[in-house]
């Protein structure tokens, strides 16, 4: 399986059509390299706020309301591209209005144009402070022709039980659209991705926003590195990094052999995924205070 992972420089489109043209061009390039799955970053849809002018894009809540009106066009765009290129596409994330709040939602488009949705489950401090974003309440996996996949949106990958539940539901691949504005944030996501790859012994694919954008309060500074992580074990990279992009590149296209990872899981030096239930034994569910004995 060949994956295309975006390290997406934030643009400033004047119209939805300009954004669509860029996406079409970028995904056509990924498809030309043989990509079968493309992953775009978290908050990608907020780039569209620029089309509404300074009074809108300078204010997060106004941006979210304006961009929400483009949701139908967004779905049509990516559904059409998934069909055109016979490709699975994680279209970054879209802040979708749900009642009186917005949910940070990743849309996974299948090659036949159908779509699955995964909402972000845990909010960062920035999202909480915005006062208009709410967490999702359901964890999902999706069947693809390459096996079952799960999605963790950025901060969610720092919580081990989400990916574990997806792995137990059959996920053989974890897709992580991400957006971070500090080096510390980028490293937290990177460490989370590597930890989830180690614990569940599966590949983790992380897409990121890149560059700086002085017009957007949400996308002003972007850090991170597009990468594919695997468990460090027999037949796999000792660092656990299957592939990673240089800072000045925008797409990582890499071969991910899910079967090889499964084999490493079966005959590996360690069996972390299989040994996971050992943590759940009653005697070790809670730590107890122990005294010192005489030597």
Rounded CA-CA distance 251/30 in Å is: 8
User: Model-level pTM?
Assistant: 0.96
Give SS3 for 86: coil
Exposed, middle or buried, 258 (CB in 10 Å: 0-12/13-18/19+)?
middle
Ordered alpha helix ranges (H), 50-209: 54-57, 60-68, 71-85, 125-130, 160-168, 183-200
Under 8 Å between Cβ of 32 and 65 = no
Rounded CA-CA distance 52/64 in Å is: 11
> For position 264, what pLDDT does the model report?
86
> For position 49, what pLDDT does the model report?
98
Written as tens digits, the pLDDT of the chain (295 aa) is 999 999 999 999 999 999 999 999 999 999 999 999 999 999 999 999 999 999 999 999 999 999 999 999 999 999 999 999 999 999 999 999 999 999 999 999 999 999 999 999 999 999 999 999 999 999 999 999 999 999 999 999 999 999 999 999 999 999 999 999 999 999 999 999 999 999 999 999 999 999 999 999 899 999 999 999 999 999 999 999 999 998 888 999 999 998 889 888 888 899 999 999 999 999 999 999 999 999 8
> For position 247, what pLDDT does the model report?
83
Under 8 Å between Cβ of 67 and 49 = yes
> For position 275, what pLDDT does the model report?
92
> For position 190, what pLDDT does the model report?
98
Under 8 Å between Cβ of 226 and 9 = no
The label of the residue with tokens 């656990």 reads: 240
């Amino acid at each position: 399986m060949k994956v295309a992972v975006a390290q997406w420089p934030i643009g400033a489109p004047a119209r939805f059509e300009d954004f669509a043209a860029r996406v079409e061009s970028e995904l056509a390039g990924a498809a030309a390299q043989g990509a079968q799955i493309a992953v775009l970053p978290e908050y990608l849809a907020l780039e569209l706020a620029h089309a509404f002018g300074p009074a809108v894009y300078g204010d997060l809540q106004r941006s979210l309301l304006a961009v929400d009106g483009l949701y139908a066009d967004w779905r049509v765009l990516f559904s059409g591209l998934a069909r055109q290129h016979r490709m699975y596409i994680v279209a970054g994330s879209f802040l979708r209005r749900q009642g009186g709040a917005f949910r940070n939602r990743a849309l996974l488009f299948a090659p036949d144009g159908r779509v699955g949705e995964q909402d972000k489950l845990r909010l960062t401090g920035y999202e909480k402070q915005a006062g208009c974003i709410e967490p999702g309440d359901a964890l999902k996996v999706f069947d693809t022709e390459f096996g079952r996949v799960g999605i963790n949106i950025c901060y969610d990958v720092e919580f081990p039980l989400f990916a574990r539940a997806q792995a137990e539901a059959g996920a053989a691949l974890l897709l992580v659209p991400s957006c971070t504005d500090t080096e510390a944030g980028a490293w937290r996501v990177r460490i989370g991705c590597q930890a989830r790859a180690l614990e569940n012994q599966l590949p983790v694919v992380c897409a990121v926003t890149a560059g700086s954008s002085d017009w957007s309060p949400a996308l002003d500074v972007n850090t991170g590195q597009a990468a594919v992580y695997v468990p460090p074990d027999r037949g796999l990279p000792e660092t656990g990094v299957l592939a990673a992009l240089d800072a000045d590149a925008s797409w990582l296209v890499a071969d991910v052999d899910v079967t090889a990872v499964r084999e490493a899981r079966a005959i590996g030096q360690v069996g972390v995924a299989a040994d996971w239930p050992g943590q759940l034994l009653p005697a070790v569910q809670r730590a107890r205070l122990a005294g010192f004995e005489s030597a």
